[in-house]
Structure 1
């Protein structure tokens, strides 16, 4: 029952996170930029989570090494959001989420290179299915298809940093309370985004009531709640099971792109989505058996 609670937390975090690409792309129609959106979202989330930390009072605190580790985990989260938000300014939200889901096999690669956990034949077969599903779900075989390679590479980079975030989050700060862990993660996220985009953020002139409303909505729904849920749930159920549950982001993002942005979805794309979801679930099931 306890694991069920933490599994539901990770699942809910994935659902909320999956809605973000559509709303971020919608905010671009008001003239906002990925850098200011991502930074404001992370900063407000850090403040909100910091408030939760103050209200919660004393608890297990990380040492200096743990603090630095959690800030670095936050850096990967910040890079993921910024790169992903940048990508949807060049490509459709539905294509961006298809590319983001490549984090599943990126996580395999990281575990192989860093932790010497060599993937077996079932994992390699499912990676092949993921790639086939990606081509179908992204409608990449459409004759005369035109898309931005810059947007594609930004989305691919975000999938890599997302894999780093999930693997690191499952291994760092296990004994730290979720309030402190998630606050440090979002602090590291905000700092990283600011350091990369300081000139754009400082010179931005959109910081009014309307922009604050957008940023607050994105911070609460897309960052504060998911980060807290992931910080509490992922260490309890592990990276493998978490990755299975977080695939819910994929259909949620596609559905939101259809409902909010009116992006078309073909039967071929739906078939590709189903292949990817099945392959990702099978791959991460085998990963969870090893953990």
Structure 2
């Protein structure tokens, strides 16, 4: 296969991997695992895998000073907040619905950019923003089977946190590559949940083989592998195209939610999700 085909395949694999996160999150909750436990182990194990792969490839770099502090803040505050709210959202809504609502984060990025640089907001971006908001509004107003108002607010909070994470990390990526930054973000996020779990007495190791299996799947299948394959895909097809291909992620979650968890998928869910994804594609094309 040529490089382009391999690149597309890698990004699709990444989208599928990330798309399993909500499914494994629901299964983890069914096993009685707390959110701090799941996420502390998720980021710690995924961090070890990423560090090992980068070391074997001779690409492991150390961060110092200001860049180390930025990476720590991105992980301990930004990524940790986004992930915590994402998993909290799974307690109120279906995995598919959570994935769709989270995917409004590019719209939040547009809003943040508009505040700082109004001149960069185009008609296309405004249309994309309207489509994303319209998709969520449609789902919230017409699909009570999957949409809980509390869950919508929680996951929108996750989307906002993720958009802030992206805006800050984009500045950091001007001086450090994405793989290295991620290698430091992951353990910082793990530390955040270790401290939170210890402080709230909600941290405990999985007690069954099934619980460990789900935890490892979240860390490896839904985190480390998609992170690495996404970066590998970017080198072959470019960041803009990779971002557009990755919009398959919420569709994967919706499909797996229906197949594995028996979650309801209505026409409204499909239409609303399509509006959100269309908005994301327009944003990525405009930004690329």
- Whether the TM-score (by the shorter chain) exceeds 0.5 is yes
Is the Cα–Cα contact under 8 Å of residues 74 and 186 in structure 1 kept in the other structure?
A: yes
* Aligned residue runs from structure 1 range 81-230, under 5 A: 81-114=83-116, 118-136=120-138, 138=139, 140-142=141-143, 148-173=148-173, 176=176, 180-200=180-200, 203-204=203-204, 206-230=206-230
After superposing on structure 2, the runs of 4+ consecutive aligned residues of structure 1 that deviate more than 6 Å are 1-4
TM-score scaled to structure 2, two decimals?
Answer: 0.84
Report the Cα offset of residue 11 of structure 1.
4.0
Report the Cα offset of residue 195 of structure 1.
3.2
Is the Cα–Cα contact under 8 Å of residues 37 and 205 in structure 2 kept in the other structure?
A: no
Aligned to 1:260: 260
Aligned to 2:24: 23
Asked if 1:67 corresponds to 2:68, the answer is: yes
> 1:96 and 1:203, CA in 2 relative to 1: closer, same or farther beyond 3 A?
closer
Is the Cα–Cα contact under 8 Å of residues 70 and 181 in structure 1 kept in the other structure?
A: yes
Q: Deviations over 1:266-287 (max 9, x none)?
A: 2232222222222221222112
Report the Cα offset of residue 16 of structure 1.
1.0
Report the Cα offset of residue 95 of structure 1.
1.9
Structure 2: runs of 5 or more not aligned: none
Size of the aligned set, in residue pairs, is 285
Structure 1: runs of 5 or more not aligned: none
User: How far apart, CA to CA, are the structure 2 residues paired with 1:114 and 1:8?
Assistant: 36
User: How far apart, CA to CA, are the structure 2 residues paired with 1:208 and 1:269?
Assistant: 35
Q: Deviations over 1:62-107 (max 9, x none)?
A: 3322222222332322322221011101222122122101101111
User: How far apart, CA to CA, are the structure 1 residues paired with 2:92 and 2:264?
Assistant: 17
Structure 1 stretch displaced more, 8-17 or 90-99: 8-17
User: How far apart, CA to CA, are the structure 2 residues paired with 1:251 and 1:287?
Assistant: 22
CA RMSD of aligned residues (A): 3.0
TM-score scaled to structure 1, two decimals?
Answer: 0.83
User: How far apart, CA to CA, are the structure 2 residues paired with 1:226 and 1:169?
Assistant: 18
